[in-house]
């Protein structure tokens, strides 16, 4: 079959700053390995796509055709100040889908591409992809894949914004009014799809309850980078390191990591210093972005190393004694936990992360707690009890192999796409027979 993948901003690639890019690459690689033809329609180029050229070269080497809709759209002149003001008032009083998802304007260009390419099935990523697919007059069967609910994401981002100047406060207020219909639009955008996959269990449940009956939950697929040899390599790192190592990894200024780092700096770290001693452990904070000044000041102590971005994240996972994921947000799926499981890490995580990732089970494959005191206590417990830590490491790897391996998850997605093509062929055959 011929699959046309529709996604915005970041091209699929096996490494990089975007988890969605890695997920998309895993799915595309599985399709190719099964002998299917894949094309990609991309739009809304992102400045964060630092591997775009490498991604293009890799995709093309795999026989994937890349169609960039941005090259087909003429730039629109910026409106005048008066026009901007009138547009803002209209957005607040009578918002339309295009206000929040400008990609709907690309519908005619995508339609032309589909008429030319004639794919057997569409595979659309996120609500931006779903929005443009909903503007098609003619299309084959389609599967949409989402993770976060946009209305939840936008609320979370607003809650972490710094005090704004008067002009920015006005713009934020307009956005709040314009976004009031988001939950309704999310449902209406996904209902026409023949199949919907949500990579966060609680968001999938919400969509089903709102009427998207064809929605199923599948975990975010994570590629198995080292295989079962992870335990041998972990043992080699333990011989080298004298102090136990705790790892926090992820973009430092992202929506979900900012509150996690505040919790780490203000509540967890002081308890670790008291329990383990200022020289009794090493906390490595790894990732792109800037720390909030208050958080940076609190993390300025002998136990902490601020590493910034590292090219070889694999070494960080394999060399840590505890992977600490104190994210208190109920948003989405914690891909770094799944990555940690693949490397056989002992994971200490906030209970909020089990909502989107039900594979995360306290005392079975991880240690969970609902506040800073509890997370610190579980971290100390894991560091002091090597038997417990090794048991959790083994169970983490077993859980990954059984439920989170990209080969299995992307295999399920490919199964769904193949089923849609078969169903369409069968229904078309019945119509023709009549």
What DSSP letter does each residue of 145-188 carry, written as one string? EE-S-HHHHHHHHHHTPPP--HHHHHHHHHHHHHGGGHHHHHHH
If you search the block for the tokens 């104190």, which residue do you land on? 326
Ordered DSSP codes for 329-348: --SS--HHHHHHHHTT--EE
Can you read off the two tokens belonging to residue 261? 């780092």
Q: What is the pLDDT of residue 22?
A: 80
What pTM did the predictor assign?
Answer: 0.89
Enter the tokens of residue 234: 């972990």
pLDDT at 127: 94
User: CB neighbours (10 Å) of residue 221?
Assistant: 25
Q: Which domains does the chain have, with CATH numbers?
A: 2-221+407-433 (3.40.50.2000), 227-404 (3.40.50.2000)
What pLDDT, on the 0 to 100 scale, is given for residue 312? 85
> Helix 201-209 to helix 182-190 angle, to the nearest 10 degrees?
90
**Residue 411 contacts residue 403 (beta carbons within 8 Å):** no
For 205-321, strand residue ranges (E) read: 215-217, 245-249, 282-286, 304-308
CA distances from 401 to 184, 333, 335, 341 (A): 37, 18, 15, 9
Is the distance from CB of 160 to CB of 259 less than 8 angstroms?
yes
The pLDDT, as a whole number, for residue 49 is 79
264 is written with which tokens?
A: 């780490």
Return the pLDDT at 238.
75
Residues 6+ apart with CB under 8 A from 200: 147, 148, 217, 331, 332, 333, 355, 356, 357
At residue 158, the pLDDT reads 74
Q: pLDDT for 345-381, tens place per residue?
A: 999 999 999 999 999 999 999 999 999 999 999 999 9
Instruction: Show the low-confidence residues of the chain (pLDDT under 50).
Output: 76, 430-434
**Can you say whether the dihedral through the CA atoms of 196, 255, 341, 11 is positive or negative?**
positive
Find the farthest-apart pair of alpha carbons in the chain and give their distance in angstroms, rounded. 79
pLDDT tens digits, 216-246: 999 998 888 899 899 999 988 876 767 999 9
């Amino acid at each position: 079959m011929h699959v046309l993948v529709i996604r915005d901003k970041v091209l699929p690639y096996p490494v990089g700053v975007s988890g969605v890019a890695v997920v998309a690459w895993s799915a595309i690689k599985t399709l190719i390995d099964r002998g299917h033809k894949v094309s990609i329609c991309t739009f809304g180029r992102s400045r964060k796509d630092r591997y775009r050229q490498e991604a293009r070269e890799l995709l093309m080497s795999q026989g994937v055709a890349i169609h960039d809709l941005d090259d087909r759209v003429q730039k629109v002149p910026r409106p005048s100040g008066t026009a901007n003001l009138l547009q803002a008032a209209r957005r607040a009083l009578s918002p339309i889908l295009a206000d929040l998802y400008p990609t709907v304007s690309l519908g005619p260009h995508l339609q032309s591409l589909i008429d030319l390419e004639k794919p057997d099935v569409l595979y659309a990523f996120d609500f931006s992809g779903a929005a443009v697919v909903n503007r098609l007059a003619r299309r084959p069967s389609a599967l949409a894949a989402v993770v976060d609910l946009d209305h939840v994401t936008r609320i979370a981002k607003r809650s972490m914004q710094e005090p704004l100047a008067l002009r920015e406060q006005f713009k934020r207020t307009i956005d709040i009014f314009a976004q009031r219909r988001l939950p309704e639009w999310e449902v209406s955008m996904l209902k026409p799809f023949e199949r919907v996959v949500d990579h966060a269990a609680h968001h999938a449940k919400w969509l089903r309850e709102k009427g998207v009956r064809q929605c199923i939950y599948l975990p975010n697929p994570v590629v198995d980078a080292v295989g079962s040899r992870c335990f041998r390599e972990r043992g080699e790192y333990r011989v080298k390191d004298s102090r136990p190592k705790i790892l926090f990894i992820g973009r430092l200024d992202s929506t979900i990591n900012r509150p996690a780092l505040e919790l780490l700096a203000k509540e967890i770290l002081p308890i670790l210093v008291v329990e383990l001693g200022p020289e009794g452990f090493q906390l490595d904070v790894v990732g792109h972005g800037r720390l909030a000044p208050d958080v940076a000041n609190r993390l300025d102590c002998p136990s902490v190393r601020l590493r910034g971005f590292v090219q070889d994240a694999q070494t960080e996972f394999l060399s840590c004694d505890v992977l600490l994921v104190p994210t208190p947000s109920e948003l989405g799926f914690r891909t770094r936990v799944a990555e940690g499981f693949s490397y056989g890490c002992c994971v200490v995580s906030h209970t909020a992360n089990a909502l989107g990732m039900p594979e995360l089970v306290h005392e079975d494959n991880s240690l969970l707690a609902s506040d800073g005191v509890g997370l610190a206590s579980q971290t100390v417990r894991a560091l002091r009890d090597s038997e417990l830590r090794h048991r959790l490491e083994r169970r983490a790897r077993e859980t990954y192999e059984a439920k989170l391996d990209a080969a299995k998850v992307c295999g399920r997605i490919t199964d769904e796409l193949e089923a849609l093509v078969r169903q369409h062929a069968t229904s078309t055959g019945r119509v023709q027979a009549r």
